[in-house]
Chains A and B, each alone.
Chain A
Amino acid sequence: MTALLEVTSISVSFDGFKAINNLSFEIGGQELRAIIGPNGAGKTTFMDIVTGKTRPDEGRVRFGEPQLDLLRLSESQIARAGIGRKFQRPTVFEAQSVRDNLMMALSNDRLPFAVLGYRATAKDADRVQALAAEIGLSGELERTAGELSHGQKQWLEIGMLLAQDPKLLLVDEPAAGMTLGEREHTTDLLRRAAETRAVVVVEHDMEFVRRLDCKVTVLHEGSVLAEGTLDHVTANSDVIDVYLGR
């Protein structure tokens, strides 16, 4: 199996602090993966590098088939190549309706003049309906996104990412601030999403990771400390020392 995303020996430092240190990482086409690690382990920096926000000092990042060199692309080009990113804070466009939020996210042409002449097709409208049903917001399509609850905003954001139809979905702490019921719904969403694409979830919450029931990568001081099932990595003595033992 060839990997969808192949990160090879990347390093990056900020003012002498090595945020990522010779990190290598691979993920296949249809896989759910959780990345855990203490604060400062480099989880967010890793996402920044893959999405083009930060350039590594060295190393390679290859994506897709044929292999794209992500380090040569801009953020928006990377997104169009098929990498979606969900930020920690739910960021939906609060001044706009749920429908408009989803419409913008649909994987249509994103260049200004194409968008200027864009007219919604019946197919797009159906897709928005289907997505709204998937994330449980069918009844809220005309509501302003700012009026939604915290959990609903998180789902809307996940729905927007699904609308983009990315090959790889990077999700930063999706469960933060959610109620138990909302967490279950979120887990379902992510697991379903991973049936057709790769999903990487960065999470602090062990309980949530257990629920995801997937392969886990533990980061520490900018490199991979352990990889495997949750039970496997939590049994690892290094992991216990740096992360769980405290």
Chain B
Amino acid sequence: MQRSLFARQPSVLVFISLLAVFTIVITVLSEGFGLGLVSTSFVKILGKTLCLCLVAIAMDLVWGYCGILSLGHFAFFGLGGYMIGMWLMYERTKDIVIASLAGAELPPTAEEIREGIGTQIFGVVGGSEIPVVWYFADSLFAQLALVVLVPGLLALVFGWLAFRSRVTGVYLSILTQAMTLALSLYLFQNDSGLRGNNGLSGLQNIPGLTHLPQSVVSVWFFLASAFALGAGYLVAAWVVSGKFGNVIRAIRDDETRIRFMGYPVEAYKLVVFTLTAVIAAIAGALYYPQAGIINPAEIAPIASIYLAVWVAIGGRGRLYGAVIGAATVSLLSSWFTGGQAPSIPLGFYTIDWVDWWQVLLGLGFVLVTLFMPKGIGGLFDRLVRKDAA
């Protein structure tokens, strides 16, 4: 009667295998560990893309399966990035300060070091005091815990308030956008304690590993991202493949009915919302060390909307759909907006893709919604059906 996860979801095995092959190939081709055919910057792009795929899985879980169109999951992604960024920046600055004070006649006191760090980090926002939110910034372990705890608690409290008031549908979407906007506006302020619009930078330099070249570090992060994506995919597949998955799909399709069957709908929503917020935060914590910088613009409401677009294009309610959507659109986006796409001269006008990519994306979104409501992932259904016939 009871079948294993792979038997219930054959696509999981296919996905994990493909991910493993892809990871090995890129590692072998990388500059840091092999043939040097794939540049360090491209390894970083791929590693970041894997993180975006992971947050897309979270989005698919909350929207595609549970029917909660959250337009705020990128805020959790960003918060995860901030939490790990604080440790990266603090420790690295500490190393720099200690090195610069090393020439002095007397060994520096702890007070002097703290002051040096404060000036270094917060000089740009006109301060030298280390804000209280940085209290744990010297502990990697604490900041790793905060990667999970801060976005998790925010999602828990926000979700509890929203779901218990039975806020659903488009109203909930608006509420999540409001939360995202408020968070981003708060972080833009200089006295938020997180360096205002400067954000946190230099995150690609990993304290304690500065002797290693970026070509090596980039592969490590690429591997960590691939591992996280694989693990996240397995967790999500496990969650959606059992009875829990049936219940959240039932919540998506008819909330009232499942409530009258005795299922506490709000509790389920809260579990899914919080779990996906934590997955998003972990993805963010892996993404930003590869990006090197995080600032409040990353949390702008539009980022969360893009996330929904990726999942819609890739195919909601199927985990590989989310991955396909996030990978395709984000890679295309960086290709088009990175200036690599050749402009199209029309004589009277030149189509410059940096400007026109948005139009193309919007058009693609409309076309997918109209003609492929199941997204790109829906194409696989036809393949499978053809095989069966």
Contact = CB atoms under 8 A, between A and B. Distances in A.
Contact of A115 (B243, B253, B254, B259): B243
Given A87-B257, A91-B254, A93-B253, A115 B247 contact: yes
B246 A79 contact: no
Contact of A96 (B239, B250, B265): B250
Chain A's interface size range is: 20 to 34
Interface string B222-249: 0000000000000000010011101101
B2 interface: yes
Contacts of A100: 246
Contacts of A72: none
A118 B243 contact: yes
Nearest to B269: A112
Nearest to A81: B262
The 4 A-B residue pairs whose C-beta atoms are closest, nearest first, are A79-B262, A80-B262, A91-B257, A76-B264
B242 A75 contact: no
Given A91-B254, A93-B249, A96-B249, A116 B261 contact: no
Contacts of A58: none
Contacts, number: 82
Interface of A: 51, 74-77, 79-80, 84-85, 87, 91, 93-96, 100, 103-105, 110-113, 115-116, 118-120, 122, 125, 160, 164
Contacts of B262: 76-77, 79-80, 110, 164
B246 A75 contact: no
Contacts of B242: 115-116, 118-119
Nearest to B238: A116
Interface of B: 1-2, 239, 242-244, 246-247, 249-250, 253-254, 256-265, 267-268, 271
Contact of B243 (A74, A80, A95, A103): A103
Contacts of B264: 74, 76-77, 110-112
Given A79-B262, A110-B264, A119 B2 contact: yes
A199 to B, nearest CB: 16
A118 B244 contact: yes
Contact of A116 (B2, B239, B256, B258): B239
